[in-house]
Amino acid sequence: MITKKTLNNSLSSLKNRINFDTIANAATTAIAELQSTFTTTLGSSVGSEVGGFQSLTQEIDGAVNSNEVVGGGVSLITKNPSGVNLVEEISSSVIAELTAIAGLDVVSGINKTIVSASTPEAIGATVSAVANKDIDDVLPAIIAVSPSRLQSSAGSAVVKELKGGGIGNSFVSTSNISLAAVKRYLDKGMNQPVKDLIEEVDQTVKSVIINLTQSTGKLIPVKVIQQATGLIDNKRYKTAAELIAGYSSLSVIDIETELAKISTSVKDSVQPTNTAFNKLGTSTAPTCVISQYDSYWNGADTSIKNPGGSTGQSYAFSYVSSLEELEAELRSATREITETVIHWTAHYTNQASVGAEEVHKMHKQRGFSGIGYHYIIRRDGRIQRGRPINQQGAHARDFGHNRKSIGISHVAGYNCVSGTPNPDQYISAASINTAQWKAQKDFLTAFYRVFPGGQVIGHYQCTTTGKADPGFDVDAYIKNTFNKTNAIAYANSQGPLTRQQLITQRGTNQAPLTSLRPITRP
């Protein structure tokens, strides 16, 4: 049970985790750096000279005071900028000789016209380019045109900006560290006491569970209610339903359907004071009941639900509407899954209408028992369900990979339009577009949340047919994107690892590949 002391401790701990002084100091520094790059002493009046530059304009709109201007303005180099010699001084004897030869007055000075914007950043870039010097070597010229109150940061700020170091990085880094600490605490610390408090007062979850079990007359133990509540909070509705089923006359599917309607989030559990805010945050995504169509799957003889039509006794190639929904679906899997195999469907870039329905027909024509993939990533980036996840796929038969894998496939393969002569010349991962790359990342994010040590491989790594799909180095992709590596290196000769083999391999991290008994082809 949540106590007042526990809640107060949680609130105090949250406050102590945010170092507001550090964030404020970093913000002040970032603001000073930014101001230092575009606040100048040039431009307050036409003809004023500072550090070798003469202002050609008067910037009334950007004037901070009589000596400072923010941005804008144009200036002309009239003599060597501070700390930089653009021309050598000519001796008086040479000047006399040149005057006699040219018949004109000759004086020392700049021998070409150089115009620049008036900000310290622009002055630094101009002088650096004209003098052919590194930006660090022209700091005096930058500081000379900066207001005295900003001169301490002007040089370093302009150097940082022009060299791509990024103004404000320290602020972003500081604030991100603090916000990350708060998020971790909300996820694992304070959030749970608040949820416990809400449940103690509201008892919504407990009421639903009791209503689902009261018809049997059996008394459901408090411990079971607590376990089921924890599972519901983690969206493991099917597992919770199986736990409750022993005390209910309803089927697991019916119980799961009711449990999935419960929201345990703090946001949804607390009623806003102002009812005008009630509609904010309302999802427009359709309600998804995990596995609701799975029982209608019948292989090649499956009756497919028409889009927008009545469900009846038919299967639906529905769409994944959120990461949370996908994660819940993966957690609901009852067969052993240890890997995801990535494919492409060998389609062209202009075949945007191809989805699970078309692949289902194509696979039936090839003699498969319906679509072999569990998910299809369409050209528009939507993830569409194919074969039910609890059904063994038909996408990676060699060495038994169908048994323990999820098959996901991009509608891609040929980086050209249909009808292009010699299309095999255009087989490339470039056929996978930006929306599909994002969808793949989203899918694997959910996969790794549910199966942290799971394997992710390309079809080319687990077949003897010479398939190229999905056309990119999957090992490099998961390393670069998720900092993940597979437990073993696949070389077209190894079957999938069982869960126990995967645990052992991850644990030892040194078991030889030959020590794992190959899994025979189904």
Q: How far apart are CA 411 and CA 142, in angstroms?
A: 55
- 98 token code pair: 């040149």
Residue ranges of the chain with pLDDT lower than 50?
A: 1-2, 189-190, 197-202, 266-283, 308-309, 510-522
Q: How far apart are CA 298 and CA 381, in angstroms?
A: 27
DSSP letters spanning 449-494: HHSTT-EEEEGGGS-SS---TT-S-HHHHHHHHH----SS---SS-
pLDDT at 163: 74
pLDDT at 117: 83
The neighbour count for residue 349, using CB atoms within 10 Å, is 20
- 319 token code pair: 């769409």
Strand partners, 170: none
Q: How far apart are CA 499 and CA 309, in angstroms?
A: 40
- 461 token code pair: 């790594």
Task: Convert the pLDDT of each residue in 377-411 to its tens digit.
Answer: 999 999 999 999 999 999 999 899 999 999 999 99
Domain boundaries, the chain: 14-169, 187-276, 294-515
pTM exceeds 0.75, yes or no? no
CA angle at residue 164 from 158 to 167, to 5 degrees?
A: 55
107: which residues sit within 8 A by CB, 6+ positions away? 90, 95
Q: Name the residue with tokens 């437990």.
A: 487
386: which residues sit within 8 A by CB, 6+ positions away? 317, 356, 359, 360, 371, 372, 373, 374, 375, 376, 407
**Helical (H) or strand (E) element with 4:** helix 4-17
pLDDT at 278: 42
Task: Convert the pLDDT of each residue in 303-325 to its tens digit.
Answer: 887 654 455 578 888 899 888 88
Q: Are 364 and 299 in contact (CB under 8 A)?
A: no
Task: Convert the pLDDT of each residue in 130-183 to its tens digit.
Answer: 888 888 888 898 888 888 888 877 878 888 777 766 665 655 555 565 566 555
- 45 token code pair: 């009046």
Q: Are 35 and 22 in contact (CB under 8 A)?
A: no
**Helical (H) or strand (E) element with 75:** strand 74-77
What is the second-level CATH architecture of the domain 294-515? 3-Layer(aba) Sandwich (3.40)
Q: Are 414 and 426 in contact (CB under 8 A)?
A: yes
Q: Name the residue with tokens 């622009």.
A: 122
Q: Are 64 and 146 in contact (CB under 8 A)?
A: no
Q: How far apart are CA 189 and CA 17, in angstroms?
A: 12
Q: How far apart are CA 107 and CA 98, in angstroms?
A: 9
pLDDT at 270: 43
